[in-house]
Structures are given as C-alpha cells and as structure tokens.
Amino acid sequence: MARVRLPVLLALVALVTMTPFVVMVLVAFAPPGGKTLPGAFDLTRATWENFSAVLSGAEIGRWAANSLVYSLVSVVLILLFSSMAGYAFAKKRFPGREVLFWAFLATLMVPFQATLIPYFVLVSRLGGVDTYWGLIVPTLANSQAVFLMRQFIMQLPDELFEAAKIDGASEWRIYTTVVIPLITPVLATLGVFVFLWHWNDFLWPLVIGQSSEMRTLTVGLATLEGENVAVNQIMAGATITVLPCLLVFGLLQRYLTDSIATTGLKN
C-alpha cells in the first residue's frame, strides 16, 4: 500500500518546495501591480518591465559585479592557498604540523558572529571598510577547505611524489604538475561550494560594504526590500540574484549532492 503512495507523496513535497521559486518568477514577470493571484498568474500578460525598471533604478549591475568579484576572487585564492596548505599537511613533515592542523580545525568551533566585532575592528583599523580587499581577504582563512584538501591529498600514493623528485622536479613544479592535476575533481567541488557560500553571504558584506556602491547582490536585495520598492521589482531582483545559483546547480546537481553526502561540506 505504501508503494503506491510514495511517488504521490514525493510529488506533493516537491510541489511545495518549488512553489516559492515559481511564484517569484511569476510575480517578476507580471505587469506592475499584478502581485495578487489572478494578475500574477496570467501568463499572456508577462512582461520584462519589472526587470528593466529594477535594472535602471537601482545599482543592481554594480552589486552583481561586486558579488562576482567577491565570489570569484575568493574561489581562486581559497583553492590556491588551501591546496598548498593541504599538500604540506598531508605529505610534508615540519615542526608543529599536528598542532597547527588542529588549531586550524579548532576554529570551526567558533561561530563567525561571535568574532564579528573584533573582525570588523581589525579590518576597519587596517582601512578595509568599503574596499574589495576588506571584503575578500578576511574570508580566505577557511578551515574546511584546508581539511578537505589534506584528506584528499593524503590518499595519493607517495611514490608519485618520489618519482617526480628523482626526476629532479622542484617542489613548486611537483605541486603544479603532479598535485594540482590529481586533485582537480576535489578542487572543482570545493570551488563550486566556495562560490555559492560567497555569492549568498550576507552578514560580512553587510557590515563591511557601507556605501551603496560596495554592496553585494544579497545585501542590495535586502536594502531594496527595505526601501518600499514594488513587489514585482523586488521579485525581478530576486530572480536576477538566484540565477547564477540555479545555473551552477543545474550544471552540477549530481556532483553537488553527492559531495555533500560524502564529505558533509557546510557553510
């Protein structure tokens, strides 16, 4: 009896899960003022008007560019620094290795909000308020990334590195020509997650980007919400904000869900 009902139940839950996205898009394409049911659901009257209004009125283009800079630069630097550190923690012996690794991991215990104030004081003292580096650099110390890299590189056979060393390759050469190609799959997974974390991040961009030009898309969307902008335009802005996430998700769905289940990446 349960076997008959399972797909029905699943479809029902799926419908509820998808509804908010569907109404977001419908309201975004409804003619201005059409935010209640009949108006918003009349597809023959769909229009781009809200999108052009929100794109011309607010600094949404600038915010999107900020989000892109924040996300992409962070992805590149986190992948580089964490793979370098992961390689050293996995395959090199140096004094303090274990202590350092555990100290890195221990920072996971401290919620970011608990250190928000000293973070802000530090970055503002260094002149980082309203700058890209102030936004990006403090978020690069990522323990999960280091941990993931170390675990993955540890599984690579030592013989590979020894062979490269016997061939006379320098350490940097071994890192770029042996380590990097071998860890490409895990780099890709981590890269996607770091991108999503930064693209969706809110609290840090909120406190560090104080002028309107330095807001990211999520912070901008939240301020639009507070400024009595029409619902249709807010939903158009929301649709623009979610687009990259949906794109990444659509392309890498299987990959993403599998890696959550096996490694438990969490922001």
Footprint (CB under 8 A) of other proteins, residues 208-237 = 218-219, 221-222, 225, 231, 234-235
The only residue of 31, 55, 65, 165 in contact with other proteins, by rule CB under 8 A: 165
Minimum distance, C-beta of residue 139 to other proteins, in the bound complex (Å): 6
Q: Does 251 bind other proteins (CB under 8 A)?
A: no
Task: Considering only residues 37 through 96, tell me which ones interact with other proteins, judged by CB under 8 A.
Answer: 37, 80-82, 84-85, 87-89, 91-95
The only residue of 65, 72, 129, 140 in contact with other proteins, by rule CB under 8 A: 140
The only residue of 52, 107, 177, 212 in contact with other proteins, by rule CB under 8 A: 107
Round to whole Å and give the CA distance between 222 and 227.
Answer: 9
Q: Does 190 bind other proteins (CB under 8 A)?
A: no
The only residue of 143, 160, 188, 230 in contact with other proteins, by rule CB under 8 A: 143
Count, residues near other proteins per rule CB under 8 A? 108
Minimum distance, C-beta of residue 75 to other proteins, in the bound complex (Å): 13
The only residue of 46, 68, 112, 169 in contact with other proteins, by rule CB under 8 A: 112
Q: Does 153 bind other proteins (CB under 8 A)?
A: no
